[in-house]
Structure formats: structure tokens, C-alpha cells
Amino acid sequence: MIKTAEVVIIGGGISGSSIAYNLAKKGVKNIVLLEKAYLSSGATGRCGAGIRQQWGTEMNCRIAKLSCDFFERANEELDYEEDIEFKQEGYLLLSSTDKEHQQFIKNVELQNSLGIPSKLLTLEEAKEIVPFLNTEGLVSATYCEKDGHLNPFHATQAYANAAERLGVKIYKFTEVTGILIEQGKIRGVKTTKGNIATNIVVNAAGGYAQLIGKMVKLDLPLYSERHQILVTEPMETILKPMVMSFSLNMYCQQVPHGGVIMGRGDENEPRDFRITSSWQFLDEMTTTVTKLLPPLKNARLLRQWGGLYNMTPDRQPIYGAVDEIEGFYLAVGYSGHGLMFGPATGLLMAEIILQEECTIPIDMLHLNRFRKGELIFEPSVV
């Protein structure tokens, strides 16, 4: 294994791979990416893989749009020989209360002002997109046809391959066991396959980011929460867009392969590193989805699995340097949106590390916001 590096990135998910690629593209040499298992083995490969731009704050809208635009041209830009399978079949968001409806109106206005082609829909219009939608208890919907989903394994691999072509060294099955600091400065990382001397470490460890933080005695305001998903056997295409409801706390989408993927948030989920499955999830998920989308009663459950949301108190990511440790950077705490923010994460983190001006102003996403009590409110999260 290599002995010294300019930058060591910890985590081989979409974020780490994207950061590696963007740094290399900007000319940084000697970049090392460390992954304790295989690429996209963590949250990236376990998520619902939705890509949406319909957010409620300007910053999130811009991050999401930048990312979505990139995914549209990712196969070409990353020169990927296969396909990241980005399909833009839209996101249909449902509101269940008048308060939510009012928020949707504001959101669409904001999104449109930023060039995101979302629309506010009546329930009748929503039924034109999903004819079997049970609108009982719903108020309105918004729809953005440019939203969609992709194959997270291929997306990560596309970044990784492109990064490797630019000289990035990727070590799979290599776990970081410690971080070396001298006088408040990063000096290297210890791994299961040897030590690497470096002055810059990027923590992009997803669900395990707080553990990396502990290695530099940093108590990051993060916790990992299990989220679960199920997939059905492939069936005839009946559902084009991702259907999502914040009130019902669920999302559901049929992927090109024909299987229907669905997941939900649950405050009772364990906040440890468990990624096992629970029968309670099946009970709750099937009850909700068969009420909202009745034909899915006949879809056959194939498999369920769990993954980790890396949560922050305001459910917004933490981007940036850490004041007290020179050379230690954070790209953590996506709270469930790491994949869809992946391209922006890579670009913005590269800009931060190289001290360039950020394409999107993201100062407020710095770790210090929690120290100052300046939390961000995003109304549109499952």
C-alpha cells in the first residue's frame, strides 16, 4: 500500500468517490480513497436511490439541481462504459394537510425561481400521473418531471473508475483504525493494511462518520438511525414516478427492472449501527402503501433490508473544515440524502479543500452552526 498521500478520503460511497474524482479533476495528485468493505457497501448501496430537486430551502434546491444536472450527463462526463441508469420519471409529492399544502405552494415558487420545473397539482391532476392513487385524506400534490432515480452501485463505480483514471488510488476492504495528529494537525491515518502519511483527511464515512470523528477526539453532532426498505418481485410497469408523502412518512417507486422499492422513516428505529430487518417495518410499510396505492396489494415482497441514515440535529449535511484540527474535513450527516447530493458534495468539498470560491454558498452548513445554535429548517424531509 502507498505510504504517503496528499489527501486521504475515508469512505467509498457516492460522496467519497465524488470527492476523489472532483479533487483529481482539479489537479490534486496522490489521492487515496479508503473503504472498509467494497464501494457503495454502506448507505449508498442501501438507499432508495431517488433523485429529487423539490426542496424547501434555496440551498438544498441548488445542491439538488446541480447534482441532478450532473447525473443527466454523468455517463459521458465520467466516461462510464456501462450505465448509471438515471431515469427521470418524476417525483410526485403528496400533501395531507392544509399546512403542508401551503408549504407546497411556497416550495414550487422557490423551486421555479431556481429553474426547477416543478408544478403544483390538484388531486385530479395527480391521478392523471398515477391513476390508481387513493386520494382519500390527501390535499394536493407537486410534481417535477426532471426528478428520478438511478442505480447507486453504477453511479459510485462510474465516479470511482473516473477517479482511478485520474490517478486516485482506491483501497477496498481497508478499514481506518486511527488518525494521527500532531499539534492539532493531521499527520496520517492508520489502516488495517498499514499507515499512510497525509496532511488532509476527509471524513466521508456515512453511517460511520461519528466513529471517524472519535478518532480525532471530535464529538460530532451525528447519530446513525436505521431505515428500512423493501423490494417486490418484478411486475408489469404500473408506477412511473416516485410517490412520496411526508405526512405518511413514506416513498415508493417502481424501478426499471420492474421491482417496486419502498421505504419509510420511523422515529422508533434503533439509533445504533444495526442494519438488520424488522417485522414491524413490514407491518407498517405494507399497511401504508396498500392504502395509498391499492394495486400494490398484489405485489409480492421479495426482500427487505436496512441501512443507516447519518443524522444531524437539523437533518442537513455538514460540509467543511474543522476549526480545531488542521487538515480534517467533514462531508457527513446527509440525513438520508447523500446519494442525490453526491455530485454537489464532490464539487463543493473539492472547492473547500482547495480554498476556491464555492459554486453554491454553503457556509451555513459548517459544523459551527451547531455550536452557534444556527440550525437550518428544511420542511421537506422523510
Footprint on this chain of other proteins (rule: CB under 8 A)? 37-41, 45, 153-154, 157, 232-233, 257, 274, 276-280, 282-283, 286-287, 289-291, 296-305
Cβ closer to other proteins: 274 or 315? 274
Q: How far is the CB of 232 from other proteins (least distance, A)?
A: 7
- Cell digits of residue 77: 462526463
How far apart are CB 293 and other proteins at their closest, in Å?
10
CB of 258 to other proteins, least distance (A): 11
CB of 306 to other proteins, least distance (A): 9
Q: How far apart are CA 217 and CA 208, in angstroms?
A: 15
CA-to-CA distance for 344 and 15, rounded, in angstroms? 9
CA dist., res. 229 & res. 238, Å (int):
19
What is Dmax (Cα atoms) for the chain? 64
Per DSSP, the residues of 214-274 read HHTT---S-EEEEEEEEEEPP------SEEEETTTTEEEEE-TTS-EEEEE--TTS-SSS-
Residue 177: CB minimum distance to other proteins, A: 21
Q: Output DSSP code: residue 315.
A: S
CB of 30 to other proteins, least distance (A): 21
Distance CA 70, CA 343 (A): 7
**Looking at beta carbons only, is 13 or 333 nearer to other proteins?**
13
**CB nearer other proteins, residue 82 or residue 109:** 82
To other proteins, the closest distance from the beta carbon of 156 in angstroms equals: 10
For other proteins, give the closer residue by CB, 82 or 324: 82
Query: Which C-beta is closer to other proteins: that of 96 or that of 277?
Result: 277
Complex with other proteins: residue 134 or 287, whichever CB lies closer: 287
Q: Using the minimum distance from each CB to other proteins, give the nearer residue, 111 or 174.
A: 174
CA pair distance 243, 131, nearest whole angstrom: 12
Between 287 and 359, name the residue whose CB sits nearer to other proteins: 287
Minimum distance from CB of 316 to other proteins (Å)? 28
User: And the C-alpha cell for 35?
Assistant: 473503504
Q: What are the residues whose beta carbons fall under 8 Å from the beta carbon of 346, sequence distance 6 or more?
A: 15, 17, 18, 19, 20, 21, 22, 159
CB crowding 36-55: b at 16 or more within 10 Å, else e = beebbbbbbbbbbbbbbbbb
| CA distance between the termini of the chain | 41
- Residue found under cell 453532532: 221
Q: Do residues 325 and 184 make contact, with C-beta atoms less than 8 angstroms apart?
A: yes
